[in-house]
Amino acid sequence: MTSSFLRQLWPSFRMLLVLTVLTGIAYPLALTGFAQVAAHGRANGSLVTYDGHVVGSALIGQSFTGEPQYFQSRPSAAGTGYDPLASSASNLGPNSPDLLALIKQRRAAAVTLDGTAPARVAPDALLASGSGLDPQISPAYAAQQVARVAKVRGLSTAAVRRLVATYTVGRGLGFLGEPAVNVLLLNLALDRAAGTAD
């Protein structure tokens, strides 16, 4: 009985070892190597550098709250905000008093910051994304912020609108999702354009 068991155990162990090497080591290394060659920047997290320093990722939003010279990101419920280790939505339902209070607070902040009429505040200024990490805002939310950013930076609104248009991407494959503006890339372009005007 014991020798029969050991005869069956040894091939099972060898198969486990072979599959572990193939699927746990060889396959991940091959995919990592291919990704490094085919899409080096994206494989490494789409890191964004400015003046030789990494300032973020094009794939993860970050907060610009309290900095009126920058376009503001949409709210985040991930950890203390934009925490990739705590990616999540708030899980507050549409009838939640907490969510309604947050929306009221965010609407008041947008009205104060941008001078937008309360009924015209863009939805993504009020609601966090499902992941809490979205790096983009809608063109409507960007348009809402143009006048403020132009005034604080001493740029013309036309120049700022052109930058927004430059950093607006359309729908994926022409029909997936909605047009969006990458906030970090736009804000870095604003830093490079600082002091220029039409």
- Whose tokens are 């008093």? That residue is 97
Is the pLDDT reported for residue 41 higher than 80? no
Taking residues 84-110, what's their average pLDDT?
88
| Whether 135 contacts 60, CB under 8 Å | yes
Dmax over CA atoms of the chain, in Å, equals 89
Residue 32: the pLDDT is 86
Taking residues 110-119, what's their average pLDDT?
93
Question: What is the distance between the alpha carbons of residues 179 and 169, in angstroms, rounded to a whole number?
Answer: 6
Taking residues 40-48, what's their average pLDDT?
76
Contacts of 150 (CB under 8 A, 6+ apart): 156, 157, 159, 160
Question: What is the distance between the alpha carbons of residues 159 and 192, in angstroms, rounded to a whole number?
Answer: 13
**Helix, strand, coil % over all residues of the chain, rounded to 5:** 50, 10, 40
Is the pLDDT reported for residue 197 higher than 60? no
Residue 117: the pLDDT is 94
72-88: pLDDT as tens digits? 999 988 877 888 888 87
Is the pLDDT reported for residue 51 higher than 70? yes
Is the pLDDT reported for residue 193 higher than 70? yes
| Whether 62 contacts 184, CB under 8 Å | yes
Global pTM reads 0.78
In the predicted model, what is the mean pLDDT of the chain? 88
User: Which tokens belong to 88?
Assistant: 């999540």
* Boundaries of every domain in the chain: 2-41, 45-192
Is the pLDDT reported for residue 5 higher than 80? no
Question: To 10 degrees, what angle do helices 183-192 and 157-166 make?
Answer: 130
Q: Per residue in 97-135, is it b (16+ CB within 10 Å) or e — as a string?
A: eebeebbeebbebbbeebebeeeebbebbbbbbebbbbb
Residue 88: the pLDDT is 78
Is the pLDDT reported for residue 122 higher than 90? yes
Which of residues 100 and 49 earns the better pLDDT score? 100
Question: What is the distance between the alpha carbons of residues 196 and 182, in angstroms, rounded to a whole number?
Answer: 21
**Confidence at 1, pLDDT banded by 50, 70, 90:** low
Is the pLDDT reported for residue 198 higher than 50? no
- What stretches of the chain adopt beta strand conformation (E)? 47-50, 53-57, 136-137, 168-169, 180-182
Is the pLDDT reported for residue 45 higher than 60? yes
